[in-house]
Amino acid sequence: MSKKNRPNDRAARAAAALEAKQREERRRRNLMVGGVVIGIVVVLFAGWLIARNLDTTKDVTADAASSSSEFGVTIGPDSAPNKVVIYEDFLCPFCGQLEKATRDDLSQLAADGKVQVEYRPFDLLGGGDPTSYSVRSAGAFSIVLDKSSAAVTKKFHDLLFENQPSESGPFPESSELADLAVEAGATESDVRGPIEGDQGNAWVVKATKAATDAGVQSTPTVLLNGAVFQDGRTVEDLANNLIKQLQ
Amino acid sequence: MREWVGLALRLVVGGVWIVAGAIKLPDPAQSVAAVRAYQILPSDLVTPVGQLLPILEVVIGLLLVLGLLTRAAAVASAVLFVVFIAGIASVWARGINIDCGCFGGGGANPDAASQYPWEIARDAALLAASLFLAWLPQSRLALDNVLFRRTPVIEGP
């Protein structure tokens, strides 16, 4: 009887020892996985905190909208309770969409004295190339701003967006920009020569430097009372939410 | 042989993640702008997602290259590729022309439509590699092999 059991005992002991070893291994394995997972979570969280600090999206400190601004055209009175600044590039497609979605409402709100909006074009997409559409269009804007009334300049600004070329071209000649300026109501003898001679380039360099110094990195950048306004999933959402804030 | 294939896929997919994430790490603002340009996420989510994605990419890449928690990392990698493919397909379908922001950059890009198919193909290939690793995570030169070595179960009498 007892002799018969002995091999079984030995097998049972061996099995028990193996199971204990495997249990110990599972425990060690679970601890290890847990430790690595905790490590990963810590790294992700720390990385996120650092990224938040490095994120300069909202670090735009620009001059408030003002009818006496050097680099923009303004609608609405200086006394309006809300001030909006829109940094834009005449070539940027999202700027064109934002224009389309906000123009009528912003014009109405400005006329009602509820908001003052300053449009500040600069060269984002041209990268400083004086022959680029971004530079030429902003330069033409500056010439009209200099020679004509704010209303004419705003009209020219609107026409530039209505006739916005595709980012991949073909781009209008500067003489066509002069045509639009005249259509907006600028005096032809005042503006055609300077626009066709691309004489606004120096202004564009200064306007672009002012925008970059203010922290603007993309277009359109909308500031509502000094703070970057980005509330919206799409450009249309953004436009609707902005108008809601101003009513 | 299969384990060498696993090693090669780990290095390729992990390497792509590390490069893609590392390029974006220094400039979270650009990463956030790239996420925003997809016009998919609500604005409250755009910022944290844009800030977190680069670091997440680097971490997944490191796990794959080191062969640490390979299966979990491969699953996470596959999920991200599915999300990216869906995102690119979505902007393509809506006619929005943006740089995918895959390796930095982002924002409007007039030639985007011609690049979407190739970007989706690339992500699909990387997705396939990730799925392979999730299915068969055993591979050569992996930390998993060192950390989680199992005592083989003795079979039979």
Which domain CATH number covers A211?
A: 3.40.30.10
Domains held by chain B: number: 1
Specify if B82 maps to a domain.
yes
* Same domain as A193, residue A80: yes
Specify if B157 maps to a domain.
no
Specify if B74 maps to a domain.
yes
Residue B151: half-sphere exposure toward Cβ, Cα within 13 Å: 13
For residue B87, list chain A residues with Cβ-Cβ distance below 8 A. none
Specify if A68 maps to a domain.
no
Residues constituting chain B: 157
* Same domain as A89, residue A41: no
The reported pLDDT for the residue numbered A238 is 93
Residue B146: is its pLDDT beyond 90?
Answer: no
* Same domain as A132, residue A50: no
* Same domain as A221, residue A163: yes
Best CA proximity match to A223, nearest among A74, A82, A52: A82
**Host domain of residue A11:** 1-55
Residue B90: is its pLDDT beyond 80?
Answer: yes
Specify if B96 maps to a domain.
yes
Q: Check if the interface score ipTM surpasses 0.85.
A: yes
Residue A216: is its pLDDT beyond 80?
Answer: yes
Specify if B12 maps to a domain.
yes
Whether A170 has its CB under 8 Å from any CB of chain B: the answer is: no
CA dihedral A145, A146, A148, A152 (to 10 degrees): 0
Tokens of A120: 């500040």
For residue A35, list chain B residues with Cβ-Cβ distance below 8 A. none
> How far is the alpha carbon of A175 from chain B, nearest alpha carbon, in Å?
25
Q: Is A222 helix (H, G, I), strand (E, B) or coil?
A: strand
Contact criterion met (CB below 8 Å) for B82 and B47: no
Q: Write out residues 55-74 of A within 8 Å (CB-CB) of B.
A: 55-57
DSSP secondary structure letter of residue A142:
H
Separation of alpha carbons A134 and A116, rounded Å? 25
Specify if B151 maps to a domain.
no
Residue A3: is its pLDDT beyond 60?
Answer: no
Which chain B residue lies closest to A25 (C-alpha atoms)? B150
Specify if A225 maps to a domain.
yes
Mean pLDDT of A38-47: 96
**Host domain of residue B109:** 2-143
* Same domain as A175, residue A90: yes
Contact criterion met (CB below 8 Å) for B23 and B103: yes
* Same domain as A83, residue A45: no
- Which residue type does A45 have? F
Query: What is the residue-wise DSSP string for B32-74?
Result: HHHHHHT--S-HHHHHHHHHHHHHHHHHHHHHHHHTSSHHHHH
Kindly report, residue by residue over B29-48, the tens digit of the pLDDT. Answer: 999 999 998 999 988 899 99
Residue B68: is its pLDDT beyond 90?
Answer: yes
Q: Distance between terminal CA atoms of chain B?
A: 30
Which chain B residue lies closest to A34 (C-alpha atoms)? B69
* Same domain as A193, residue A89: yes
The reported pLDDT for the residue numbered A4 is 57
pLDDT over 70 percentage in chain A: 98
Facing residue for A56 by CB, picked from B29, B36, B151 = B29
Mean pLDDT of B68-72: 95
Tokens of A121: 């074009």
Contact criterion met (CB below 8 Å) for B35 and B71: no
Residue B154: is its pLDDT beyond 60?
Answer: no
Which chain B residue lies closest to A50 (C-alpha atoms)? B51
Contact: B51, A48; criterion CB under 8 Å: yes
* Same domain as A89, residue A29: no
* Same domain as A15, residue A85: no
Domains held by chain A: number: 2
Whether B65 has its CB under 8 Å from any CB of chain A: the answer is: no
Mean pLDDT of A87-102: 94
Specify if B84 maps to a domain.
yes
A158-189 in b/e form (b: 16+ CB < 10 A) is bbbbebbeebeeebbebeebbbbbbebebeee
pTM: 0.81
The dihedrals phi and psi of B103, each to the nearest 5 degrees, come to -120, 60
Contact: B154, A18; criterion CB under 8 Å: yes
Facing residue for A51 by CB, picked from B51, B151, B153 = B51
The reported pLDDT for the residue numbered B25 is 94
Specify if A65 maps to a domain.
no
For residue A217, list chain B residues with Cβ-Cβ distance below 8 A. 29-30, 33
* Same domain as A84, residue A20: no
For residue B154, list chain A residues with Cβ-Cβ distance below 8 A. 18
Contact: B28, A93; criterion CB under 8 Å: no
* Same domain as A108, residue A35: no
Tokens of B145: 């092999």
Between B97 and B110, residue with greater pLDDT: B97
The reported pLDDT for the residue numbered A5 is 61
Specify if A62 maps to a domain.
no
Give the full edge-to-edge strand order of the sheet including A227-228: A73-75, A115-121, A82-88, A221-224, A227-228
Could you give the angle at the alpha carbon of B102 between the alpha carbons of B101 and B105, nearest 5°? 35
Mean pLDDT of B97-114: 87
Specify if B154 maps to a domain.
no
For residue B91, list chain A residues with Cβ-Cβ distance below 8 A. none
The lowest-confidence range among A93-97, B135-139, B149-153 is B149-153
Residue A143: is its pLDDT beyond 90?
Answer: yes
